[in-house]
Amino acid sequence: MRERGEMVGPLRPQFVLFGSSIVQQSFSNEGWGAILADLYARKADILLRGYSGWNSRRALQVLDQVFPKDAAIQPSLVIVYFGGNDSVLPHPSGLGPHVPLPEYIENMRKIALHLKSLSEKTRIIFLSAPPVSEEQICETFSLKLGELRRKNESCRIYSEACLELCREMDIKAIDLWSAIQKRDDWLTASFT
């Protein structure tokens, strides 16, 4: 007879998705998180730690709580995405999600070092900043936000910085900036 609170079946590897809205919304509309959960059903537990609107600065503030070094079970895989909000152009008020590029790089380095220290078995994949549909952003938010603050050029710069850091630290990375734009219809098919 099973004790109360005892897990059914063997322990499974944990895959943690950690990032901003691309992670938070990854289980919606048959998104990539939902696809991972389906592909790894009965093989791994997919844990969602997505926080819409967050940047790398905010991620550092909760890193120890999301990934405690003394946890009994450490994740087998962590997929990390920050950069899209960091790359938003600075607002004149100083408010908003923008993080200057040098700070973004250092924040991502700290996140990587923390994750590497969890276990020698923990694998890490970083996702770079994707492109954006500037036209769609203008249509959707122009009256609310005024001047367009999310630009493709800025996303490209942050994407390249993330990929360079990953090469330097020997971390696997997925170049979302380039991958999404390989589709001919990326401007209309890739965004919600």
What are the residue numbers of the active site?
21
Alpha helices in the chain (DSSP H): 21-24, 32-39, 56-66, 101-116, 134-145, 152-169, 176-181, 186-189
| β-bridge partners, 174 | 127
Extract long-range pairs of 146-151: CB within 8 Å, 24+ residues apart: 149/88, 149/89, 149/91, 149/96, 149/98, 150/84, 150/87, 150/88, 150/89, 151/89
- ∠ at Cα 55 (78, 185), nearest 5°? 80
What is the enclosing helix (H) or strand (E) of 81? strand 77-81
